[in-house]
Amino acid sequence: MLEKHKIRKAALLVMKKILLLTTGGTIASSDTGSGLMPVAGADRLLNYVPDVNKICDLYTMSVMNIDSTNMTPELIMKLAQAVSDNYDKYDGFVITHGTDTMAYSAAALSYMLQNLGKPLVFTGSQLPIEADGTDAINNLSDAIYFACESICGIYVVFNGIAIIGTHAMKIKTRSFDAFKSVNYPDIATIKKDIIEYTAKGKSITKKEAAQNLYGSKEFIAKINLCTDVMPLKMYPGIDGRVFDFIKNNYRGVVIESFGIGGVPDNYNDIPTKLRELTEAGTAVAITTQCMYEGIDLSVYEVGQTLAKQGIINCADMTFEASVMKLMWALAEFDNIKDIKAFMEKPYFYDKSY
């Protein structure tokens, strides 16, 4: 362990320029008497982690100051634009963000900011940074350390682990280990200034692992999201009329199916409703209500029927990544075949099959 510590310290002798972008969230909140409200700016947050100034040159920018339940696609695009505008000026980025929608923002930026050759790290906390026993100080410090690494891509750093942005999911409402890497290993563990990569994480430290959708290794910002996407959870007795509503009002739908990809086929004629959606040019993406292992439409008869109808198979993508990827695809592509092809292609590790 001592040897690793020395190596890590030596690696940080070259000071990198890191931009801290703040958006509000619990980490920046104080009790106003009517509940928590984000009030702290970047400089106030950094007062709690003075040691990070020894490892990098820190710069700050306030992008917004909101409770993350108020995050919208428009505000996510604003955040992505702030990173894009400053991409060439810094060696890495840290974004403080409320935990409730952090996974959505991390996934969205993974599609909008392509060919990243440097790290962009989301973090936040379950308690305000000024609270006794807070997790905010460790999370912010860990995120800044990780942003100094020679790694590329978008990550969530929380409770001592680094998670790839397209696989982060909030699974707990109060505990400090609130985030889980779903269907993909953690990238690394972080303990103060010691960062240990997993076998999967080591491969992402290579520049050639940068996102490369358009065949160019140059950084590309495609900052558009289509908000005409409706998430829909299957439940026993679901009324088929909801699909008529979707057909008339939305360009896409992400359906959380039962289990491995099941939808009802013996009442309300749901498969026919889904076929009508795809025939009308609506992008219909299928994921699962189960957290792990994803879907396989080949297992059951109803799944095979859906597969023949042009349904988009989200495989083992998280729900958050499925929604944001479809929003980005609908903004970028007009042809439903192009949308389906993009959604089903693994992109920066967002699915394993």
Residue 255 near residue 263 (C-beta atoms within 8 A): yes
* Residue appearing with tokens 């957290």: 291
Cα distances from 176 to residues 22, 36, 146, 180, in angstroms, run 20, 18, 19, 11
- In one-letter notation, the amino acid at residue 247 is K
Measured CA to CA in angstroms, residue 141 lies from 65, 96, 279, 321 at distances of 20, 11, 51, 26
Q: Per the residue annotation, which of 23, 26, 99, 278 is the catalytic one?
A: 26
Rounded to 5 degrees, what are φ and ψ at 76?
-65, -40
> How many other CB atoms are found less than 10 A from the CB of residue 196?
12
Cα–Cα distance measured from residue 148 to residue 160, given in angstroms and rounded to the nearest whole number: 15
Cα distance between residue 131 and residue 238, in whole Å: 44
8 Å CB contact between 101 and 324: no
Cα 175 off chain centre by: 20
Angle at 288 between CA 283 and CA 293, to 5 degrees: 120
Q: Are strands 92-96 and 119-123 parallel, antiparallel or unpaired?
A: parallel
Burial status of residue 289 (CB atoms within 10 A of its CB: 0-12, 13-18, 19 or more): middle
Active site residue 26: yes
User: Active-site residue numbers?
Assistant: 26
